Amino acid sequence: MKKFKRASLLLAALLAVAAVSSCGDSAGDTTVTDNAGTDTAAATETADPNDRSQIKDNLPEDLNYSGRTFSVFVASPSEQYEFIAGVEESTGDVVQDAVIARNIAVEERLGIDLTYDVHTEVDGSNIDAFITPLLMAGDTTYDLFTGHQWGLTKLLTTGGIVPVEDLEYIDLEQPWWWKEYMDELTLGGSDHYFMVGDFFLHALRSARVAIFNKELYANYYDDANELYQLVLDGKWTIDKMTELCKSVYIDLNNNGQTDAEDQLGFTSWSTQASTDPFVYGTDIEYIKRTADGGVEFQMISEDAVALCEKLVDFFWQEGTYTGCTSDPEQHAMFASGKVLFMGNAGLATVEKIRDMESDFGIIPCPKYDEEQSAYRTLVHDGGYLGVVNGCSENLDITGAVLEALSSETYRSVTPVYYETALKVKYTRDDTSAQMIDLIHDTLMTNFIYAYNYALDGIGLQYRTLITNKSKDYVSQIEKSLKGAEKKLAILAEAFAGE
């Protein structure tokens, strides 16, 4: 377990200046012109559209909690903790330094001592087993739990967590909260138990994308920018991706089978999580919201059956290889220059491949068909959420702390990550930056995906079907619905506080 405490005030001041500078020096979003009509070039100041420094929260200016400690539990088997807890001291990395500065700024503003306990032994698979005993025992060690969505959502039926509506000062209408995403995690008109937003920056890094080798694409289609234009024209579909992957495949070792030695159209780590962004990137509705905010399953439809058939064909065609056993292996295969598309990738993936020799581009995952109105970018269920410990002795200050952390992240950390690191440092061309904006603006989740492990696995049925090369979608869903219905009733009781 790693514990991070306060850094030096001198460092904080330097970092705060750097973070604000990276977002631009101008406030507002208008152009100011000298009315006298003199030298307009000299008298005109164009504001930086990425400058968020003047977007304030509504916390009282005189809040001061006299040195109280606010403790955050961070489940993080890898470097994900750096985007919440920061690191122990400055490294020169612009994002890490911005996180350190953010934490110190909030400590000084509210008169608190932030403590982050990083548990590298805890991930989505065991976070509920780790936290549940604490909640059951009324443990007050932690005020906030943060970690992977697929594990944290199981805590709802445990009890012991409280909704943000019970906290003073939280304002979900502010831009640093992903309210639509949080709404999708509610049931029956309930309050919001799970928090998502700028403070939980790993959720943005978990946005699923398609990464393609521009040089390999250009070898077959002349201009890699054609693929960007296909996306912008709304014609980037699963069928089109299937076609492209088939067209570049070469059996380089002449053994008659698709393997890691070949030139490939698509590679990913297994047929498990790789399938999710295709499934939820469509506009197929797997649930129906009732008038009172409840949920009814509507898993079986012609489009859902057809999607299963498309994806089985895609994942088991010549040119698709899913035999990678780890992220590093997948990244190395793509970096070799012999793979057109890398699957099971998020925005965070570009941090891992940014030094590859061949140029690469970033686009959203494909639509179901051209009739689909817009792209839909799934946030992987390994993205971070936050839940409040109902046993905390700091519930009276928790709302203010979370609002301050979220608003400060929105102003000073997100712009550094999004505009400076992601769109400049990690990408290779301006159009990829435009694609990142499109991806950011279409972020989403789905109720059955987010609560899959509390719903008897109903949200990941395509994983099983595609892995087994099965197109018998209806039979698989029918077998799964009975258990899911029972678990949905239990989930509804938990939301209702019963």
Residue-wise pLDDT tens digits, 317-345: 999 999 999 999 999 999 999 999 999 99
Nearest-CA neighbor of 147 among 66, 72, 242?
72
Contact 263, 320 (CB under 8 A): no
More confident residue, 19 or 69: 69
Q: What is the pLDDT of residue 47?
A: 57
Q: Where are the beta strands (DSSP E) in 419-460?
A: 443-444
Kindly indicate the confidence band of residue 18, based on its pLDDT and cuts at 50, 70 and 90. Answer: very low
Backbone angles phi, psi at 487, to 5 degrees: -70, -30
Kindly indicate the confidence band of residue 15, based on its pLDDT and cuts at 50, 70 and 90. Answer: very low
Backbone angles phi, psi at 276, to 5 degrees: -55, -50
More confident residue, 224 or 177: 177
Q: What is the pLDDT of residue 331?
A: 95
- Domains of the chain, start order: 2-205+382-425 (3.40.190.10), 208-378+429-496 (3.40.190.10)
Q: What is the pLDDT of residue 50?
A: 67
Kindly indicate the confidence band of residue 27, based on its pLDDT and cuts at 50, 70 and 90. Answer: very low
- Tokens 């905010």 — which residue? 293
Q: What is the mean pLDDT of residues 69-92?
A: 90
- Average pLDDT across the chain, whole number: 89
Q: What is the mean pLDDT of residues 336-357?
A: 94
More confident residue, 40 or 171: 171
Q: Is the pLDDT of residue 1 over 80?
A: no
Q: Is the pLDDT of residue 141 over 60?
A: yes
Q: Which two tokens stand for residue 247?
A: 């067209």
Alpha helices in 141-211 (DSSP H): 149-152, 179-184, 202-205
Q: Which two tokens stand for residue 314?
A: 């895609």
Q: Is the pLDDT of residue 8 over 50?
A: no
Q: What is the mean pLDDT of residues 15-19?
A: 38
Kindly indicate the confidence band of residue 426, based on its pLDDT and cuts at 50, 70 and 90. Answer: confident
**Whole-structure pTM value:** 0.89
Nearest-CA neighbor of 93 among 29, 19, 35?
19
Q: Is the pLDDT of residue 314 over 50?
A: yes
Q: Which two tokens stand for residue 489?
A: 């009733």
Q: Is the pLDDT of residue 14 over 70?
A: no
Alpha helices in 224-348 (DSSP H): 225-232, 238-248, 276-280, 302-315, 327-335
Instruction: Give the Å distances, CA to CA, from 96 to 15, 87, 316.
Output: 10, 7, 41
Q: What is the mean pLDDT of residues 340-359?
A: 93
Q: Where are the beta strands (DSSP E) in 364-414?
A: 377-378, 384-389
Q: Is the pLDDT of residue 450 over 60?
A: yes
Q: Is the pLDDT of residue 19 over 60?
A: no
Give the rounded distance of the alpha carbon of 183 from its chain centre. Answer: 16
Q: What is the mean pLDDT of residues 283-294?
A: 94
Q: Is the pLDDT of residue 494 over 60?
A: yes
Q: Is the dihedral of CA 325, 327, 330, 332 positive or negative?
A: negative
Q: Is the pLDDT of residue 475 over 60?
A: yes
Q: What is the pLDDT of residue 2?
A: 60
Q: What is the pLDDT of residue 7?
A: 37
Give the rounded percent of residues in the chain with a pLDDT score beyond 70: 90
Alpha helices in 249-336 (DSSP H): 276-280, 302-315, 327-335
pLDDT tens-digit series, residues 365-377: 999 999 999 999 9
**Three-class SS state of 2:** strand
Which bin fits 427, alpha (ψ -120 to 50), beta or left (φ > 0)?
A: beta
- Give the Cα separation of 412 and 89 in Å (integer): 18
Q: Is the pLDDT of residue 166 over 50?
A: yes
- Give the Cα separation of 159 and 498 in Å (integer): 10
Q: Is the pLDDT of residue 488 over 80?
A: yes
Q: Is the dihedral of CA 193, 196, 202, 207 positive or negative?
A: positive
Q: Is the pLDDT of residue 43 over 50?
A: no
Contact 366, 210 (CB under 8 A): yes
**Three-class SS state of 74:** strand
Q: What is the mean pLDDT of residues 174-191?
A: 94
Instruction: Return the top range by mean pLDDT from 9-18, 20-29, 333-342, 429-438.
Output: 333-342
- Give residue 99's identity as a one-letter amino acid code: V
Q: What is the pLDDT of residue 414?
A: 94
Give every CB contact of residue 289 below 8 A, 6+ residues apart in sequence: 295
pLDDT tens-digit series, residues 211-248: 999 999 999 998 989 999 999 999 999 999 999 999 99
- Give residue 113's identity as a one-letter amino acid code: D
Q: Which two tokens stand for residue 297?
A: 């399953």
- Give the Cα separation of 398 and 387 in Å (integer): 11
